[in-house]
Amino acid sequence: MDKNKRKNIRRRLGAIVLLVLFVLLLLNIFIFKLYEELSLGIYVLILVYFLFFTNKGVHVEDTDEDNLKKDK
């Protein structure tokens, strides 16, 4: 297995873990209500990070259909 595949697998596993933790955080906020203020604070931090630090540019990759249209 080359380095790129390993890196991609690690990134996917990390994303899955973060998604599970986020779902658990939401469950805690809405259902369990344990450490509610701390959970809300963490949720706000995640929200601020998402709003200010994620790439908002939409990158449209060429599809096969687009390539076929260009060739005609």
pLDDT in tens, 43-68: 999 999 989 988 777 665 655 555 55
For 10-38, the pLDDT digits (tens) are 999 999 999 999 999 999 999 999 999 99
Q: Which of 45, 27, 46 is nearest to 36 (CA)?
A: 27
Range of the domain at 64: 3-71
Q: How many domains does the chain fold into?
A: 1
pTM of the model: 0.68
CB 29 within 8 A of CB 39: yes
